[in-house]
Amino acid sequence: MLWLSYIMQQKYYSVPKDENEGGLVLFCCSHQATCVQYRLVVRDVSTLQILQLYTCLDQVSHMEWSSDSLFILCAMYNRGLVQVWSLEQPDWHCKIDEGSIGLVSSRWSPDGRHILNTTEFHLRVTVWSLCTKAVSYIKHPKACQKAVDFSRDGRYLALAERRDCKDYVCVFVCDDWHLLRHFETETQDLAGLEWSPNGCVLAVWDSCLEYKVLLYSLDGRLLSTYSAYEWSLGVKSVSWSPSSQFLAIGSYDEKVRILNHITWKKIAQFEHPAILDSTKATVYKEVEKRPAVGSDEMSLHSITIGTTLFNTQSKYEISPLPVQIPVVKPDPDRANPKIGISALAFSSDSRYLATKNDNMATAVWVWDMQKMSLQAVLEQTSAVRCFQWDPLRPRLALCTGNAKLYLWSPGGCVSVQVPAEGGFQVQSLNWHCSGDSVILLGKEQLCLCYMDTDQEDK
């Protein structure tokens, strides 16, 4: 059971961002930072009280906390500048200027003392050290979906390289940026790479023109190759389970294939049919409760609050089988068609997998990894924008761009109205690392949502 015990809201104005960045709001475990144009505001996460205020030189494009939550980097891609602020010493400052070479992306290293800047046109990656002011360069980084990945323990960095029309992977030791391994991959056009949570296996996948997933061991040996089919569009998304036991591959053929870590062979295949006929899963359908028009509730008070007028209440109903999920056929002439599994997420105990099929954008599918079968389907009234698992419990939070927060757990699911003024639309959400609160990001507002810790044991 969850209770929304305490909700606060804040307003902020943000720069229109590309869709990948969920707004300029970030959490670390103890603080929350908000960036407005060029002003950086740091708040305490439990009281939202302003602690620090910084001013950057230009409009901030990207903001990131360091791993030890002591520093924040603010990158300004237009100017090719990166500014780093310290929380402990507000007077401390650091500015990195990339010069004429430009800046396309900037990120922290896992130790929180190095910054990796990718220059324009992906000419090189510059590694700046805040301890020694030393610089390292990494040449020929690849410009693809996910070219850089740090292992979870922060010891190794895997970077995709494209040299002489061939793909390579470089493995660096984050301690001193020593190149540990450099090997060629058997991909046509490497699209992404990801370390397994135990840091021993690197999954590398090809672009959507070829279905190929390669698994390399930490020392560069090819462990296995997996290819489900030829010619049709291939891999769309990849995700490791937190226990490193499973690798989930979502593809354009609307299926998720699960590989196991012992033989690297497919052990299960999850399909997303439009008509659910014979399944033991529960299908939750969001049903909107229309507000009573012309009733006593239409008082001035309620109108000003806007909860009854603009935001309709909704609840979940269990649909009886067979269920038909609305499908939107993608435009066949466009590239990167809106079909296939684009989002995969394992719960923290590796027990559940949540998936989203792009041509059934209103549905989120939850699979039970113990039974290797469908557990639940959540059908929303509008397209699901974002979903994320609680870092500690098997609890899934999702949002569809309206003023509601939806939560699913094995016990059931609930639709929570966000009490906010005007049209607050939840565009994305982020869990706090303790699993006690969720931050909901809208276009111009953010809302912090606290979960009541359940007293009883279930």
Partner 1 sequence: MGPLIFRHLSLSSFGLPPVWTAGGGSELNIVAVLNCMYDLIQLHRRGLRTLENMEVEQLKSNSNVDFLQLSTTRLKEQLEISKRENTGLLERERQLQLKVKSLQNCLKNEKEEVQKLQNVIASRASQYNHEMKRKEREFNKLKERLNQLLVDKKEKKQAIDVLNNIGRADGKRSLWKTEKTEAKHEGEMYKTLLSDYDTRQRELQLENAELRKVLQQMKKDMVSILSSRKQAAKDVLPTLLNFIQAASEEEDEVFDSSKDSVELYCVHAREKLTNSIRLQWRRLKSHVERLDSQAQTSESKTADAVPRETHEEEMDRLKLEIQQCKDFIQAQQQLLQQQLSSPCDEETASLLSDCYMLQEKERLGDEWKTLEEQRKIFERERRNFTEAAIRLSHERKAFEEERATWLKHQFLNLSPFSDSKKPSLSKSKSAFLICECLFLFPSLSEPPSCVPLTSPSTADLYRTLCLIPEDRYGLDLNF
Residues that bind partner 1 (CB under 8 A): 67-68, 86, 91-102, 111-113, 120-121, 126, 128, 130-133, 135, 155-156, 173, 175-176, 178, 180, 198-200, 208-209, 217-219, 231-233, 261-262, 332-337
The SS3 of residue 121 is helix
CB nearer partner 1, residue 189 or residue 288 = 189
Phi-psi region of 138 (alpha: psi -120 to 50; beta: other; left: phi over 0): beta
Q: What is the nearest approach in angstroms of partner 1 to the Cβ of residue 310?
A: 39
CB nearer partner 1, residue 196 or residue 375 = 196
Q: Cα separation of 190 and 210, whole Å?
A: 10
Q: Cα separation of 345 and 366, whole Å?
A: 9
CB nearer partner 1, residue 11 or residue 95 = 95
Q: What is the nearest approach in angstroms of partner 1 to the Cβ of residue 201?
A: 9
Q: What is the nearest approach in angstroms of partner 1 to the Cβ of residue 276?
A: 25
Q: Buried b / exposed e across 26-48, counting CB within 10 Å, b at 16+?
A: bbbeebbbbbeebebbbbebeee
Q: What is the nearest approach in angstroms of partner 1 to the Cβ of residue 63?
A: 19
Query: Please, which residues have CB within 8 angstroms of residue 304's CB and are 6 or more apart in sequence?
Result: none
Q: What is the nearest approach in angstroms of partner 1 to the Cβ of residue 191?
A: 11
CB nearer partner 1, residue 59 or residue 67 = 67
Structure tokens at 353: 């997998």
Q: What is the nearest approach in angstroms of partner 1 to the Cβ of residue 269?
A: 19
CB nearer partner 1, residue 293 or residue 335 = 335
CB nearer partner 1, residue 181 or residue 272 = 181
Q: What is the nearest approach in angstroms of partner 1 to the Cβ of residue 221?
A: 10
Structure tokens at 339: 């079909």
CB nearer partner 1, residue 126 or residue 359 = 126
Task: Give ∠ CA 193-352-192 in degrees, rounded to 5.
Answer: 10
378-381: long-range pairs with CB below 8 Å, 24+:
378/284, 378/286, 378/316, 378/406, 378/408, 378/413, 379/283, 379/284, 379/285, 379/286, 379/319, 379/323, 379/325, 380/286, 380/406, 381/286, 381/288, 381/314
Q: What is the nearest approach in angstroms of partner 1 to the Cβ of residue 353?
A: 21
Q: What is the nearest approach in angstroms of partner 1 to the Cβ of residue 219?
A: 6
Q: Cα separation of 234 and 253, whole Å?
A: 8
Task: Give ∠ CA 389-390-396 in degrees, rounded to 5.
Answer: 45
CA 397 vs CA 6, 76, 375, 385, 411: distances in Å: 17, 31, 16, 11, 14
Q: How many CB atoms neighbour CB 233 within 10 A?
A: 19
CB nearer partner 1, residue 58 or residue 120 = 120
Q: What is the nearest approach in angstroms of partner 1 to the Cβ of residue 430?
A: 24
The SS3 of residue 279 is coil
| CB distance 428 to 385 below 8 Å | yes
> Got the DSSP string for 233-258?
--EEEEEE-TTSSEEEEEETTSEEEE
Q: What is the nearest approach in angstroms of partner 1 to the Cβ of residue 82?
A: 9
The SS3 of residue 120 is helix
CB nearer partner 1, residue 117 or residue 362 = 117
Q: How many CB atoms neighbour CB 327 within 10 A?
A: 18
- What letter represents residue 130's amino acid? L
Q: Cα separation of 404 and 310, whole Å?
A: 12
CB nearer partner 1, residue 205 or residue 367 = 205
CB nearer partner 1, residue 50 or residue 134 = 134
CB nearer partner 1, residue 30 or residue 324 = 30
Q: What is the nearest approach in angstroms of partner 1 to the Cβ of residue 131?
A: 5
